[in-house]
Amino acid sequence: MTHGETATLDIEIDRLLADLAALAAVGGTGDGGNCRLALTDDDAGGRELVVGWMRDLGLEVRVDRIGNVVATRAGIDPDAAPVMTGSHIDTVRTGGRYDGTLGVLAGLEVVRALDDAGVRTRRPLAVAFFTDEEGSRFAPDMLGSLVYAGGLALEEALGTVGFDGALLGDELERIGWAGDAPVPGPAPHAFVELHIEQGPVLERSGIGIGAVTGVQGIAWHELTLTGQSNHAGTTPMSLRRDPGLVAAQVAVAVRELAANLGAPMVGTVGRLGLHPDLVNVVPARATMTVDLRHTDDAILSAAESRLKALVEPLAKAEDVSVAWRELARFAPVAFDETVISLVEAAASARGLSCRRMPSGAGHDAQMIARMCPTGMVFVPSHQGISHNPAEHTDPADLAAGAAVLLDVITELAA
């Protein structure tokens, strides 16, 4: 069959839903959610399942030195660079069943649809999943795709120490997913990632498909505040050096900073720990993270400077020391106009409503965009909820997104 005869080509939503459900059973948290933190045993379980499906489809599976998996379907032209799709299968600790997994499993469903229709594309087609997209265990986020794209040296990535004290390279070896394919990986011809929106925009506007224009910039900082641990009953308030107080003030300051800069600035304190974490002890230490994001890199940098300027006097007033560690810093990324237009055209051809929109979340596409023309397809998230077991997207929306992915990929690979 030639490209002009692909009208009957379509995905089968029941197969995609079955795969999503089977993967969600690995590391299931019993509340509809998933915990497959990067390079844990449950991540390995998910990897085995998905790679089994890749092999069943006759794809050539390659695992690279940071554990990224790329499964390739041959094209008519063996020398042409592949069109790549994919995402991630690791999750945050309280993850849902669609974040990342949709993009990987829809990629496999695209392969099945092409197989069923007997379509061979001119270019090879690659379906990838990248190691540690979430960054919840090993920062930065999008670590595997960053290494794939040459933005982080392999040795540095392998030497990353997780929030649980584990060494990334040790964990990759331990679970048996340190492959031998070199990094950086080969540049694809183009990259397209299907993902749930993870926010409220599509659902609120009653639109089925997002043609993603780019990803906002991300800055992650970790603060370690150190004071004087002492007895809660005997230490007068005037003599305290309480890092817990400063952490609370910083959390309030982050909210005010975001409010003052205004949308689309967002700021989050997602981790906050007190040590020794006891009811009757003034804490010795507080560790916290601040996640700042904005679509404009200059405003994001200004927000980082303001944060530093806010923290110092709060710490000084309590005689608490502050150590800063940058965990992630990514500039905003603009996607390729050709790919964005292809997403719009594919949605329109299928009678689906579509709007252009930036991504609030970080994505592997943001890293692969350094290598080749890149774009993303978003589908609605029910009530805009994600990084939460309640994450949900209606099957009809999943099917629409997978169909648009199919059409964009076949067009790019023709």
* Contacting residues toward Mn ion, per CB under 5 A: 99-100
Q: Which is nearer to Mn ion, 240 or 335 (CB)?
A: 335
Q: Which is nearer to ligand GLV, 134 or 171 (CB)?
A: 134
Residue 36 near residue 89, CB atoms below 8 Å: yes
Q: Which is nearer to ligand GLV, 376 or 406 (CB)?
A: 376
- Under rule CB under 6 A, residue 361 binds ligand GLV: yes
Closest by CA to 188, choosing from 130, 238, 232, is: 130
Report in angstroms the alpha-carbon separations of 147 from 217, 313, 368: 18, 38, 10
Backbone φ, ψ for residue 375 (5° rounding): -155, 175
* Least distance in angstroms from the C-beta of 357 to ligand GLV: 15
Q: Which is nearer to ligand GLV, 103 or 227 (CB)?
A: 103
Please choose which of ligand GLV, Mn ion, none residue 364 contacts, taking the beta carbon within 5 to 8 angstroms, the exact cut-off set by kind. none
* Least distance in angstroms from the C-beta of 326 to ligand GLV: 15
* Least distance in angstroms from the C-beta of 362 to ligand GLV: 3
Please choose which of ligand GLV, Mn ion, none residue 67 contacts, taking the beta carbon within 5 to 8 angstroms, the exact cut-off set by kind. none
> Which 127-156 residues touch ligand GLV, going by CB under 6 A?
134, 141
Q: Which is nearer to ligand GLV, 334 or 396 (CB)?
A: 334
**Cβ-closest residue to Mn ion?**
100
* Least distance in angstroms from the C-beta of 135 to ligand GLV: 6
Neighbours of 312 (CB within 10 A): 11
* Least distance in angstroms from the C-beta of 134 to ligand GLV: 5
**Cβ-closest residue to ligand GLV?**
362
Please choose which of ligand GLV, Mn ion, none residue 318 contacts, taking the beta carbon within 5 to 8 angstroms, the exact cut-off set by kind. none
Closest by CA to 207, choosing from 13, 11, 379, is: 379
Please choose which of ligand GLV, Mn ion, none residue 245 contacts, taking the beta carbon within 5 to 8 angstroms, the exact cut-off set by kind. none
Q: Which is nearer to Mn ion, 103 or 267 (CB)?
A: 103
Exactly one of 169, 362, 375, 401 binds ligand GLV (CB under 6 A); which one? 362
* Least distance in angstroms from the C-beta of 75 to ligand GLV: 31
Neighbours of 234 (CB within 10 A): 8
Q: Which is nearer to ligand GLV, 85 or 198 (CB)?
A: 198
Residue 195 near residue 87, CB atoms below 8 Å: yes
Size of the site for ligand GLV (CB under 6 A): 4
* Least distance in angstroms from the C-beta of 180 to Mn ion: 27
Residue 194 near residue 411, CB atoms below 8 Å: no
| Amino acid found at 322 | V
* Least distance in angstroms from the C-beta of 361 to Mn ion: 6
x-or-dash string of contact with ligand GLV, 90-129, rule CB under 6 A = ----------------------------------------
Residue 219 near residue 303, CB atoms below 8 Å: yes
Please choose which of ligand GLV, Mn ion, none residue 141 contacts, taking the beta carbon within 5 to 8 angstroms, the exact cut-off set by kind. ligand GLV
* Least distance in angstroms from the C-beta of 292 to Mn ion: 17
Q: Which is nearer to ligand GLV, 88 or 123 (CB)?
A: 88
Please choose which of ligand GLV, Mn ion, none residue 242 contacts, taking the beta carbon within 5 to 8 angstroms, the exact cut-off set by kind. none
Report how far residue 328's alpha carbon sits from residue 214's, in angstroms, rounded to the nearest whole number: 18
CB burial of residue 24 (10 Å; 0-12, 13-18, 19+): buried
Q: Which is nearer to Mn ion, 117 or 266 (CB)?
A: 266
**Residues 291, 210, 184, 165, CA torsion sign:** positive
* Least distance in angstroms from the C-beta of 141 to ligand GLV: 4
Please choose which of ligand GLV, Mn ion, none residue 362 contacts, taking the beta carbon within 5 to 8 angstroms, the exact cut-off set by kind. ligand GLV
Kindly list the residues in this chain that would bind ligand GLV in the complex (CB under 6 A): 134, 141, 361-362
